[in-house]
Amino acid sequence: MNDLKHHLIKELKEEAIKPKKEKLLLHSCCGPCSCFPFLVLGASFDLYVSYSNSNIYPLAEWEKRLKTLQKAVKLFASTYGITITLLPANYSHDTYMADLKEFALEKEGGKRCQLCYKKRMEEAREIAKEHHIPYWCTTLTSSRQKDSLLINQVAEELDQKDPGGPRFLHSDWKKAGGAEEGARIARHLKLYRQNYCGCGYSLRSKGK
């Protein structure tokens, strides 16, 4: 376990790893995907979590994933001694999806998904900026179905447009056994694990 954490920490940007804990905002797509990032980042940062995911459909699913994330935050404090502050979340699905309709016929992982990553990361970065949190990151690279290089590149571009704002912490949470360790923790904590990405398009692709 310690080897996994040390290997991944070594790959994070060195300027963000300091002896004194800094604040970091983590955009969380769901509870299970957050488990390994919580464990690693909690050792180096005071963690604040943003659940900015208006892409999720329907509302009942968004609420279920939020409750799962709230459960994970609570259990990480009691089980691992890691205190995490979960920031308020808002759901505005129709407004969020307006920009994505142009790519309705795109296959999963195409331009529609790429725009969706960007929109959620933009929201998360703005939240970090509003709360004067100097670093930010995302759990999106936890998924084997998502392109971690692309996600990190999108974040770099957001930072470059606003060089005085929060700085992104690069990651690929799948690496160094992170995906397996995150899944193990989620099972141990008995967290709900969804079986589709989140939006109505991905739900239909599952034939539901």
> For 170-184, how does the pLDDT look when each residue is reduced to its tens digit (9 = 90+)?
999 999 899 999 999
For the chain, how many structural domains are there in total? 1
Instruction: Give pLDDT tens digits for 90-119.
Output: 999 999 999 999 999 888 889 999 999 999
Whether pLDDT at 20 is above 70: no
Residue 75 amino acid letter = L
User: Could you list the residue range(s) of the whole structural domain that residue 32 is in?
Assistant: 2-11+20-205
CATH at residue 126? 3.40.50.620
**Distance (Å, rounded) from C-alpha 91 to C-alpha 98?**
14
Strand partners, 22: 45
**Distance (Å, rounded) from C-alpha 196 to C-alpha 12?**
28
Which band of pLDDT confidence, cut at 50, 70 and 90, is reported for residue 7? Answer: very low
Q: Are 136 and 165 in contact (CB under 8 A)?
A: no
Residue 200 amino acid letter = G
**Model's pTM, two decimal places?**
0.89
Region for residue 176 given its phi and psi (left: phi exceeds 0; alpha: psi -120 to 50; beta: otherwise): left
**Distance (Å, rounded) from C-alpha 29 to C-alpha 33?**
7
Whether pLDDT at 4 is above 50: no
pLDDT for the residue 203 = 81
pLDDT for the residue 2 = 47
Whether pLDDT at 12 is above 70: no
Whether pLDDT at 128 is above 50: yes
What φ, ψ does residue 136 adopt, rounded to 5°? -145, 160
